[in-house]
Amino acid sequence: MGRINEREASTIDPENYRGTLHLGKVGLERRYEDELHGLVGSQNIEANAHGRVLRVLERQAPRDGDQLTLYLDLELQRVAAESLGDQRGAVVALDPRDGGILALYSNPGFDPNLFVNGISQGDYARLRDSPDTPLLNRTVQGQYPPGSTIKPMLGLAGLELNLVEPDTAIPDPGWYTLPGNSRRYRDWILRIRGRGHADEVDLKMAIAQSCDVYYYDLARRMGIDAIAEALAPFGLGEKTEIDLTSEQRGILPSTSWKRTRMGQPWYPGETLSVGIGQGYMLATPVQLAQAVMVIANRGTSFRPALVRQIGETTVAPVPRPAVAADESHWAAVIAGMMDVVHHERGTAASIAKGLSYTIAGKTGTSQVIGIAQDDVYDEKEIAERHRNHGWFVAFAPVDEPRIVVVVLAENGGGSSAAYPVARRVMDAWMEGLSDV
């Protein structure tokens, strides 16, 4: 909320805002300003020459604005904040049955009360100039390379296009080369093991162990335009239309996108980068939550929403266009996501201990700076704000999904900074459901 400025004063209804000094500036307060404001009261009176009221000729009582009832769960929001701690990043949790946002947390934040009656120059300068960008709502405005979180969606596309079968296996030496090109595109596992994930890798292993070589090969065979066409139905590259302000759309690159944006042709090596969620590709945490909702529901999804009810009127969930795929293909992709957590070599296997429910998830690590071909990423030698971002996306329980969670650990070094946060959020929600 904040004071009405000159520009706003020229656009609002002067009658309905008589005597009103403030209105919604961002977020729900801005999005639902008309519903929250209500109607101003008025009366026509008869007065004498001294201004004394003799009688009221006509009176219209003011009407309170509507109250908003949100999907947000206060306890889950608290758990998200406590679990993320001092880590810059974001947590999004939603109910895949209707798209209702259960938790939406961006860290660091700020006290919005500072803006109500006009923030001081000093206070605003501290917020504006902070390297931690507290004014950025990372959940809907933060745009980051999604990294390997797109691999389940890309794997589904490969199955649907008959480019691979669930048991199709490819050699994995730990690196990949384009035909006729000697440059090696490395798999992240190479610097850890000095080799690939296995002699050969199929789809399930490629998802569970996040094999880059498998997806380099799949991306090359698909081509960038087929990748863009396959990922668009999941909502990448477009605003989710969540009921907030200032949402960003991310980037889903294609040959036409690059030609329009940069006036340049698309190069084959760029396709490989997009195949592992890098390069020009960008997504917001809420976009990824929407995409994971599609997988959790095996094709159906809803527009993410914060407001459940306006006054006494329930806001109906808004369905999104369904993503059609063979049931066996959904099952194959979800099986790989389950192994991310529940297989001993899954990339998030460390959070499986003590689980009383099943999780289907995907880890992701996205580079902030480029690493030369023969150089080695050494986190200790890299400035903190240049370190990799960590992602974890998941839904649970697998057979009857009740929650989707996306965690971004900005410059957290990798997904190991994200998936413990998601586990605590999911535990809190599942424990709450068992108490009902």
Is 148 an active-site residue? yes
Angle between helices 212-222 and 151-160 (to 10 degrees): 50
What does the DSSP assignment read for 163-231?
Answer: S--TT--EE-SSEE--TT----EE-TTHHHHSS-SSSEE-HHHHHHTT-HHHHHHHHHHH-HHHHHHHH
Task: Output DSSP code: residue 415.
Answer: G
Task: Map residue 48 onto helix, strand or coil.
Answer: coil
Q: Which residues contact 159 (CB under 8 A, 6 or more apart)?
A: 165, 166, 203, 325, 326, 329, 332, 333
Task: Output DSSP code: residue 356.
Answer: S
Task: Output DSSP code: residue 400.
Answer: S
Residue 166: count other Cβ atoms within 10 Å of its Cβ: 16
Residue 266: count other Cβ atoms within 10 Å of its Cβ: 20
Cβ atoms of 399 and 63 within 8 Å: the answer is no
The active-site residue out of 42, 83, 120, 148 is 148
Task: Output DSSP code: residue 95.
Answer: E
Task: Output DSSP code: residue 113.
Answer: G
Q: Which residues contact 139 (CB under 8 A, 6 or more apart)?
A: 90, 91, 92, 104, 105, 106, 284, 285, 286
Residues with a known catalytic role: 148
